[in-house]
Amino acid sequence: AAVSLSAAELLRDDVAEVLQAQVAEAGLDLRSLLLGITEDALLDRVAATSIARLSALRGQGAAIALEDFGTGNAGLAQLLRMPLDAVRLDRAFTARLGTDGRAERVVEGVIRLAHSLQLSVVAAGVEDAAQAALLRAMGCDGLQGGLLAPPMAGEALRGWLAGRHALPAGPPGP
d(CA 124, CA 71): 13
Q: Where are the beta strands (DSSP E) in the chain?
A: 2-5, 34-37, 63-69, 86-89, 120-123, 142-143
Tell me the CA distances in angstroms from 8 to 22, 41, 87, one per residue in order: 17, 8, 20
**Residue ranges, the chain, pLDDT below 50:** 167-174
pLDDT at 167: 43
The pLDDT assigned to 174 comes to 39
pLDDT score recorded for residue 115: 96
pTM over 0.85: no
Q: Name the 3-class secondary structure at 3.
A: strand
